[in-house]
Structure 1
């Protein structure tokens, strides 16, 4: 039987995972590893890629800085989350605000330290990344359109540090990034629709607050439609191997998603759509392996 002190420790641990969005960090680690192995260093043996010390330092710096970013965002959004996510907010409040701030500074210091062990350029990149996440939480997220765009860009920035690290750049990376940015921008609109009540109370100038729900849905459907462009470019112009089936599936599913968005009326409708979009992003990250499935089986040495 769990004692009361053990229960408190468990709840605080769950609170930490909730505040730093542990699932998002795990997904980013997977995305960075698979991007390195199957896009940026496709000729190197997998064991060489996966056991690379500098790569893991970049991943560590990314994970620590992202965790810090979620902490500072939670710090600024505490009052809004009490309205929009009362259950999760109750769990998050197991950690005191002072504890969150202390953790934020420790994580960011450790992130820059890890990055500096790779190169001075990496340390500069993560310093800028950390500052931009703070400024987004403090100011930019309250500015209409700017907040949505900044959030989507911040989500893909840890992947671009790998481009700098490997000194490998190709057009397929840009097209993949455009595809991901459009999905993430759609997700940000869904979050705005979910959080409409709290944003109104706290004075956030989001798209639904300023223009209303219906125009926001129009923009969301337009973003979904635009996602077809990079999907078609990737399918028609690049050798995606079995990964093309992911984009075929996306192109089949997205119209249904647009229909659900247009018909959505209650918060739970947006939550379902948000979960489906998140699932699509997770499957997309895992499907990077399909660029060269034989490599995953035979390319370890």
Structure 2
């Protein structure tokens, strides 16, 4: 049996894990490695990619920066989240704001140190990334359009660090990135609909607040329609292996999303829609292996 003191310590660990959204970071780390193995590192064996120390440091820098970003976002949104996510907020508040801020600076310092192992350009890249996350959390997220666009750009920024490291700027990579960007932009707008009550109470000027729910739904419909463009090119003009089944399934999921969107009125409905988009994103990470399913044989070559 754990003592009362140890139980509280364990709860604080869970609280900090909740604040930094450790599950999201694990998915991003996996995505960076899978993208490196199956898309970016042409000509390298699987073993060379997995045990590349420079890549490892870039992934560590990304994870630390993102974790710090979640902390600073939690710091600025604490009052809003108390309305939108009361249970999660109560768990998050088991760790004091001072402790969170201290951990925020430690994580950013760790990110810069890890990036410095790779190159000075990597340090500059992550310094700008850290500043961009702070600026978004402090100012930009309260503004319509620019807040949503900034959030989507920041979400895919860690992958650009890997692109630049491998110096692989093939067109297919940008088409993949455009699909991911559009789905993330949809997720951000759906989150605004989901968090409408808290955003309104705290004076945020999000798209649903400024232009209304109906306009937001039309924008989501337009974004869903735009995803057809990268999906078409990825399936018909680029070699994506068996991942084309993922893109077909994504189109079906987005059609279901749109059907449910126009019937949605309550927070619970938008939460379901948010989870559909999250599932598409996470499923896309695991489906990267379908691009070259035989690539695992590189372990023994």
TM over 0.5: yes
SS in 1 for 2:265: coil
Measured after TM superposition, the shift of residue 253 of structure 1 is 2.0
Contact 2:46 2:298 in 1 (8 A): no
Q: From the superposition, tell whether residues 47 and 196 of structure 1 become closer, same or farther in structure 2 (CA, over 3 Å).
A: same
Q: From the superposition, tell whether residues 211 and 50 of structure 1 become closer, same or farther in structure 2 (CA, over 3 Å).
A: same
Q: From the superposition, tell whether residues 300 and 16 of structure 1 become closer, same or farther in structure 2 (CA, over 3 Å).
A: farther
Gaps of 5+ in 1: none
Gaps of 5+ in 2: none
Give every structure 1 segment of 4 or more consecutive aligned residues whose post-TM-superposition deviation is greater than 4 Å. Answer: none
CA distance in 1, matches of 2:300, 2:68: 34
Contact 1:61 1:110 in 2 (8 A): yes
Residue in 2 that maps onto 1:265: 265
Contact 1:193 1:213 in 2 (8 A): yes
Residue in 2 that maps onto 1:87: 87
Contact 2:45 2:298 in 1 (8 A): no
User: Are residue 139 (structure 1) and residue 161 (structure 2) matched?
Assistant: no
Residue in 1 that maps onto 2:210: 210
CA distance in 1, matches of 2:259, 2:76: 34
CA distance in 1, matches of 2:249, 2:271: 21
Measured after TM superposition, the shift of residue 291 of structure 1 is 0.7
CA distance in 2, matches of 1:9, 1:300: 44
Question: Per-residue CA shift, 1:32-65, capped at 9, x if unaligned?
Answer: 0011111111321101100111100000000000
User: Are residue 180 (structure 1) and residue 176 (structure 2) matched?
Assistant: no
User: Are residue 52 (structure 1) and residue 52 (structure 2) matched?
Assistant: yes
Residue in 1 that maps onto 2:281: 281
Residue in 1 that maps onto 2:63: 63
Residue in 2 that maps onto 1:74: 74
Measured after TM superposition, the shift of residue 251 of structure 1 is 1.5
Normalized against structure 2, the TM-score is what? 0.98
Contact 1:45 1:300 in 2 (8 A): no
Measured after TM superposition, the shift of residue 297 of structure 1 is 3.6
Residue in 1 that maps onto 2:25: 25
Residue in 2 that maps onto 1:105: 105
CA distance in 2, matches of 1:102, 1:3: 27
State the Cα RMSD in Å: 0.9
Normalized against structure 1, the TM-score is what? 0.98
Measured after TM superposition, the shift of residue 228 of structure 1 is 0.9
CA distance in 2, matches of 1:252, 1:211: 28
Q: From the superposition, tell whether residues 255 and 64 of structure 1 become closer, same or farther in structure 2 (CA, over 3 Å).
A: same
CA distance in 2, matches of 1:279, 1:300: 33
